[in-house]
Amino acid sequence: MAEPARVSSMADVATLAGVSVSTVSRALRGSELVSPETTARVQAAAQELAFAVSRAASSLATGRLNRIAVLVSGSLGAWFNGTLLDVIYGCLHRRGYELMIFRTFSAEDRDEFFATLPARRNADALIVASLELTGAQRQRLHDLGMPLVYVNQTVRGSASVAIDDVAGGEVAARHLINLGHRRLAFVRNHPRGGHNHSSDGRLTGFHRAVRAARLPTSEQVVLSGSGNADGERIVGQLLAQSELPTGLVVESDELAFSLLAALGRVGLRVPADLSVIGFDDHAMAATFGLSTIAQPLDLLGHEAAALALALVDGERPRRRNVTAPTELRLRETTGRPPEPAQPN
């Protein structure tokens, strides 16, 4: 940049408007203390210079960053992350807050985050989204001394917003059972080592429904891939069964899509031969007619943002731990099982 092209600051605006810097500061923030004429003059000057406040300087002076950090795991392009961030962005923007993103892919990323704590002193609050954390890590976040909100994860002593994965998994399975299915499978995904609370919860719900219906446990199976595109592998496991399950409860829609495509390739018809229900209500679920358990990302995002902002404002929100409802969204991939249910 040959010519630094000095960008105007409040001092320039002040000079142009013929007032002091303080007045500019007040006027631009709409203080009642400034006369309408002065305010107008200041605004005109600011406009003319295309002046924009330096948030860095302002933050330094006030101690408020006007920025909320969100820690996510996995690609920003992943459906869950992208959608959640979008909702949160909207809420924050409306309130004059910025969104700051921290992404972690690997355990190393996580370690780096916890070693450097970049959110500290650089955001007014931290939202932790769907991230599996160790106890020590949670403690460290707690010790940060900044407002903290967890999404899809309930942590003692911290604010949180989450869906009930167990209930969702239970409804998914129960709905198939009520349609007459007797042999079910739960399909899950075991990515890059480590637990996944959501997945675990959904499976727990699945088992609960199976038990409640007194279905023979031996006929209910759990299939697992190692990625959301692992449909082929799962179909392989499926076809290896002595008797094919007629209903599949899939941990997530993304995995269900892959499965659906793989089923189509081997000629299994859905739902004629096999019913499939996903989980999430991914944007593409409606397009492809996938029955699913909808997760209210809108609500999760809104509540998370609202909680964060409330905590920043020093409020004690009435409900620090919000549970958002899931909902069965029936479409075209689930139906009655192929043969009449045989009474065992």
Partner DNA sequence: CTGTTAGCGCCTTCAA
Partner DNA sequence: TTGAAGGCGCTAACAG
- The residues binding DNA (CB under 7 A) are 9-11, 18-23, 25-26, 28-29, 32-35, 37-38, 53-54, 57-58, 60-63, 121
Among 33, 44, 52, 266, interactor with a second copy by CB under 8 A = 52
d(CA 309, CA 209): 38
Residue 72's CB: how many other CB atoms inside 10 A? 23
Q: Does 269 bind a second copy (CB under 8 A)?
A: no
Among 23, 25, 39, 83, interactor with a second copy by CB under 8 A = 83
Residue 78's CB: how many other CB atoms inside 10 A? 15
Among 31, 54, 226, 241, interactor with a second copy by CB under 8 A = 54
d(CA 79, CA 153): 18
Residue 286's CB: how many other CB atoms inside 10 A? 12
- Beta carbon of residue 82, minimum distance to DNA (angstroms, whole number): 32
Q: Does 103 bind a second copy (CB under 8 A)?
A: yes
d(CA 9, CA 246): 68
Q: Does 279 bind a second copy (CB under 8 A)?
A: no
Q: At 140, is the secondary structure helix, strand, or coil?
A: helix
Residue 76's CB: how many other CB atoms inside 10 A? 10
Q: Does 1 bind a second copy (CB under 8 A)?
A: yes
Among DNA, a second copy, none, residue 23 binds (CB under 5-8 Å by kind): DNA
CA atoms in the 13 A half-sphere facing the CB of 109 = 11
Q: What is the binding site for a second copy (CB under 8 A)? A: 1, 5, 7, 50, 52-57, 59-60, 65, 75-79, 81-86, 89-90, 93, 98-101, 103, 116-122, 140, 143-145, 147, 229, 231, 257-258, 261, 283-284, 286-289, 311, 314
